[in-house]
Every structure is written in C-alpha cells, then in structure tokens.
C-alpha cells in the first residue's frame, strides 16, 4: 500500500498540474503556492499520496465511494464489459443488457411506483434531465405554463447551467449568467444558523411553509415541481427539523407539485436506508441518483421516475438524451456495486452498526470548546464551529476562516474532513467498522484541539456582534 507508483517527484507533478490542469472550485494562486496533494492509490477507507502518506478519507471521495476503495470485482466487471461491448447507445430503438439489467434493478430497489430510469452520466446531467422532464410532463398534460421549479438557497444540485440554476449557491449564481428563468428559491431549514429565537420544530414548520407561500404567490398553476436533497450535503450537511418534511409532503400533495428528491448523496445507503426519502418519510415523484450508484468507480447518474410520469413522457417523443445515457461499462460497474451493497448487507451495516456507533461519538463532540451543534443522519454528519455555543454565535472573522483553519489541521493529520463555511462535515465510506471510527476520532480530536489552539493563539475565538 505504501508503494509510490508515480515516477516523478511530487514537486514536479504539482508544477505540471498547476501549469496545465484547471481544477474545479480552485484558484491558481492556491494551486501554485502549495501544490495539490497528489493521490496515487486507495484501499478500503484509506488514500495514499505521492509522499507515501496514508490518509483516512472521511468524505468517501466526494460523498460517493460507498463500498470503499479497491474492490476488484468492480474492476473485473468493467474489464469484462469493455471486452464484450465497450459502447453502444440507447437512442433510436436500441438497447443493451447492462442498461436493461440496471434499470430493472433500480426499479426493484426504489420505493413505491418509481419504476422507470432515464440514465445520465452524472448528477448534474440527471438534474438537467429533470428540468426538461417536469416541464414536458405538465406541457403534455395541457399546462405548459406550469413550469416554475422551486428549490432552496444553499442547495447543491450540480454544476451545469440547468442544475446549478436549481442549486442555491450564491457564488455559482454570480458567474456565467445563471439561474435560468423560472427557477425560484426559498430558504433552507438550517436552524443553527438561521433559526433565531424559534424552537427547531417551529422553525422547521415555518421554513416548510415558505413553499406554500411561494406557490400561492407564484400561482398554483405555474409551479411544476419542488426539488430538494433529503439532507443538504454540500451546503454543510443541514438536517431539517423533524417537522419539516411532513409539511413539505402535505404541501406538494395539496397543490399537485411534483416532488423531486435529489438522492445523489443520500441514495444507496448513506442515510441508513436505500434512499434518503425513506429515512425522511417522503414520497417523491422523481429521484435524482449518481455518486453511490457506482460508488464513484464509473461516472453514471440518472432520474428514477414514477409510472405516471413515465407514461406521460412516453406518450410523446422526449427530445433529450446523452451519448453516454446508460453507458454499458458504467452500468455494469453500477450493477456490481449494487450486488455488493445487497449481498454484503451494507445498508443494514450502516443502520445497525456503523451509524449508531458514529452518532454517539459524533454527538459527544459538542463537549469540545469549538463545537456548537452536531448533526448526523446515517453516515453524513456536520458540526458547527462557534466561539460561543450558548448564543449560537458566529465568529467575528469572515465566514469560512475558522473552518479553513480546522480543515488544514485535519489534512495535516491525514484526515479528510471538509469545511463548508464554519461547519465541518464528514461522509465516510459505508463500510467503516467501529475500529475505523475509533481511528477517525483520534484524528478528529487531535485536529479540533490543534485548531482550537491555533484560533485562540490568533485571537480569533471572538463572536461577531
């Protein structure tokens, strides 16, 4: 595991990387100054870098490597499929066995009447598909003006023009001429940061009712769909108060609004059920899937839609599709991943073993002087860093300053735990054992202690007015 496979010194690789490789969500200055960490291989929950360090990946890549790294079965499935049929498309009345088998498997796993899959190459593409699906659905039903999609501030639904418009990331909307028309955003159910004097339950209801207010304001016959992540991931693992989702469901039912659950992170076991919708008790009409579908071993995503939508869309020609919709190699890898998740009972392991063990330790972090609230659902958790827990204070420094210091300490201690503003987040592979979690917490405690010392030393342990 510690063998270094690259043949160049790290500094040379970093210089070449900074010279020619444009990274997502990064600045040149950062890449050239420090150089990117070069990841060379991975096994289980550990990454190795070009310096031979062993890094505990408590983010499962980007929330996706659900079964852990290094499963040969997936590599073998890919190689077999590449030899047999490396590519064919699913346009023009053609199909192939991997796409057939995967669509069938997904309709078996997905709850209720979610029985039909439109494949894409990623979560962003799948959400672009969803925009066109829901608008086409209502148009086919004689309501072309029912085309507004409601989403939430601080949601993440992807990085393409359509999906980033659905997302509610201000920094993304500031670049490149988005959002597209007829997307409307309501507030997120983030009690810690935005709940003010309300109790969490009261706040959850108030935030859900913003959906109803928006529908009434925009017009019931104008609103096509509401999209949300069952637990907001990239926004900082924001878990809604318990009152939130039942009220959202009631409102969607009452006004005939299609509910799109973006399961790109929550799907495939992360919340302790196959889908986050099951954990949150909601009945979506469409689910967006990607990431854990293949545990990140191959790029694939899709939309799982219910019988009614499939029927309405199928009655017309849906002028939409991607070269790689249902790509046979990606589909074969996803099938093998789902086989492993099922046969090794990994979702049960999350629900019965890993998540309860993790939850106890995670929630105990609130006794650390830097930590305010600790939220966790299944294998996705967040902590809010604060200079004063009793008042849920924000730091006086610019948002994210403290989170970044903490993340730097984590990286230095060979732990991938990320920051979103001044929240720290984890989303480890689902296969973690209690012993892995113990090791993770040794590193978390060390990193938090070092961050606290550093923040105190710099005089940053101060609340904003």
Q: What angle do CA 89, 113, 304 make, to 5 degrees?
A: 35
Cα–Cα distance for residue pair 73/62, rounded to 1 Å: 21
Query: Is the CB of 368 or the CB of 419 nearer to ligand PXG?
Result: 419
Write out the H or E segment, with its range, that includes residue 361.
helix 355-364
Query: Is the CB of 15 or the CB of 62 nearer to ligand PXG?
Result: 62
Q: Are 427 and 270 in contact (CB under 8 A)?
A: yes
Query: Is the CB of 230 or the CB of 372 nearer to ligand PXG?
Result: 230
Sheet of 423-426, strands arranged across: 371-377, 380-385, 423-426, 418-420
DSSP per-residue string spanning 290-350 = -GGGTTTSS--EEEEEEHHHHHHHHTS------TTTT-HHHHHHHHHHHHHHHHTTHHHHI
Structure tokens at 396: 């006086």
CA nearest to 171, candidates 153, 189, 148: 153
Pairing of strands 114-120, 418-420: unpaired
Sheet of 39-43, strands arranged across: 39-43, 46-49, 54-57, 415-416
Cα–Cα distance for residue pair 441/173, rounded to 1 Å: 36
Query: Is the CB of 225 or the CB of 461 nearer to ligand PXG?
Result: 225
* CB of residue 131 to ligand PXG, shortest distance in Å: 13
* CB of residue 166 to ligand PXG, shortest distance in Å: 9
* CB of residue 206 to ligand PXG, shortest distance in Å: 24
CA nearest to 324, candidates 126, 52, 51: 126
Query: Is the CB of 168 or the CB of 301 nearer to ligand PXG?
Result: 301
CB atoms within 10 A of CB 171: 7
Cα–Cα distance for residue pair 8/30, rounded to 1 Å: 21
* CB of residue 412 to ligand PXG, shortest distance in Å: 20
* CB of residue 130 to ligand PXG, shortest distance in Å: 10
Which residue of this chain has its Cβ atom nearest to ligand PXG in the complex?
Answer: 123
Query: Is the CB of 312 or the CB of 322 nearer to ligand PXG?
Result: 322
Cα 423 to chain centroid distance, Å, stands at 16
Phi, psi dihedral angles at 115 (to 5 degrees): -120, 10
Cis before 4 (ω within 30): no
Give the CA dihedral 124, 129, 131, 135, nearest 10 degrees: 180
* CB of residue 115 to ligand PXG, shortest distance in Å: 22
* CB of residue 145 to ligand PXG, shortest distance in Å: 27
* CB of residue 69 to ligand PXG, shortest distance in Å: 18
Query: Is the CB of 156 or the CB of 244 nearer to ligand PXG?
Result: 156
Cα–Cα distance for residue pair 144/137, rounded to 1 Å: 9
Query: Is the CB of 378 or the CB of 387 nearer to ligand PXG?
Result: 378
* CB of residue 160 to ligand PXG, shortest distance in Å: 7
* CB of residue 156 to ligand PXG, shortest distance in Å: 5
Query: Is the CB of 224 or the CB of 238 nearer to ligand PXG?
Result: 238
* CB of residue 132 to ligand PXG, shortest distance in Å: 16
Query: Is the CB of 50 or the CB of 124 nearer to ligand PXG?
Result: 124
Query: Is the CB of 233 or the CB of 328 nearer to ligand PXG?
Result: 233
CA nearest to 39, candidates 25, 21, 53: 53
* CB of residue 286 to ligand PXG, shortest distance in Å: 13
Cα–Cα distance for residue pair 106/174, rounded to 1 Å: 36
Q: Which residues are within 8 A (CB) of 448 and not within 5 positions of it... i.e. 6 or more apart? A: 365, 368, 370, 371, 406, 409
Query: Is the CB of 312 or the CB of 330 nearer to ligand PXG?
Result: 330
Q: Which residues are within 8 A (CB) of 103 and not within 5 positions of it... i.e. 6 or more apart? A: 116, 117, 119, 326
Residues that bind ligand PXG (CB under 6 A): 62, 122-124, 127, 156-158, 229, 233-234, 262, 264-265, 288, 290, 301
């Amino acid at each position: 595991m510690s063998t270094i496979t690259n043949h160049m010194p790290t500094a040379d690789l970093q210089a070449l990387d900074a010279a020619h490789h444009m990274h997502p969500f990064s600045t040149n200055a950062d890449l050239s100054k420090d150089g990117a960490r070069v990841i060379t291989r991975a096994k289980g929950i550990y990454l190795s870098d070009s310096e031979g360090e062993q890094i505990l990946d408590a983010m499962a890549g980007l929330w996706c490597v659900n079964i852990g790294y290094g499963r040969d079965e997936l590599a073998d499935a890919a190689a077999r499929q590449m030899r047999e049929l490396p590519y064919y498309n699913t346009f023009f009345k053609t199909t192939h066995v991997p796409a057939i088998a995967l669509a069938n498997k997904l309709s078996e796993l997905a709850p209720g009447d979610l029985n039909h899959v439109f494949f894409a190459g990623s979560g962003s593409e799948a959400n672009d598909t969803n925009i066109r699906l829901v608008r086409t659905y209502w148009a086919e039903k004689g309501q072309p003006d029912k085309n507004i999609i409601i989403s939430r501030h601080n949601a993440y639904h992807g990085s393409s023009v359509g999906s980033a418009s659905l997302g509610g990331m201000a920094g993304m909307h500031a670049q490149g001429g988005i959002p597209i028309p007829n997307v409307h955003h309501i507030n997120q159910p983030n009690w810690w940061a935005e709940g003010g004097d309300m109790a969490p339950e009261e706040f959850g209801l108030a935030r859900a009712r913003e959906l109803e207010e928006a529908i009434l304001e925009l017009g019931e016959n104008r609103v096509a769909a509401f999209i949300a992540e069952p637990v907001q991931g990239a926004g900082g693992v924001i878990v809604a108060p318990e009152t939130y989702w039942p009220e959202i469901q009631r409102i969607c039912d009452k006004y005939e609004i299609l509910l799109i659950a973006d399961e790109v992170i929550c799907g495939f076991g992360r919340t302790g059920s196959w889908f986050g919708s099951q954990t949150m008790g909601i009945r979506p009409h469409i689910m967006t899937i990607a990431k854990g579908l293949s545990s990140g071993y191959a790029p694939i995503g899709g939309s799982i839609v219910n019988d009614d939508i499939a029927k309405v869309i199928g009655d017309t020609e849906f002028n939409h599709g991607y070269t790689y919709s249902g790509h046979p190699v990606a589909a074969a890898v996803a099938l093998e991943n789902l086989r492993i998740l099922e046969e090794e009972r990994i979702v049960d392991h999350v629900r019965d073993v890993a998540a309860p063990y993790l939850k106890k330790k995670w929630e105990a972090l609130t006794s650390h002087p830097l930590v305010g609230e600790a939220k966790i659902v299944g294998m996705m958790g967040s902590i809010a860093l604060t200079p004063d827990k009793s008042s849920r204070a924000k730091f006086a420094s610019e948002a994210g300053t403290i989170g970044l210091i903490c993340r730097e300490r984590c990286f230095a201690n060979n732990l991938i735990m990320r920051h979103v503003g001044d929240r720290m987040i984890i989303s480890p592979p689902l296969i973690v054992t209690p012993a892995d979690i113990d090791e993770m917490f040794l590193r978390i405690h060390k990193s938090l202690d070092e961050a606290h010392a550093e923040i105190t030393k710099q005089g940053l342990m101060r609340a904003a007015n």
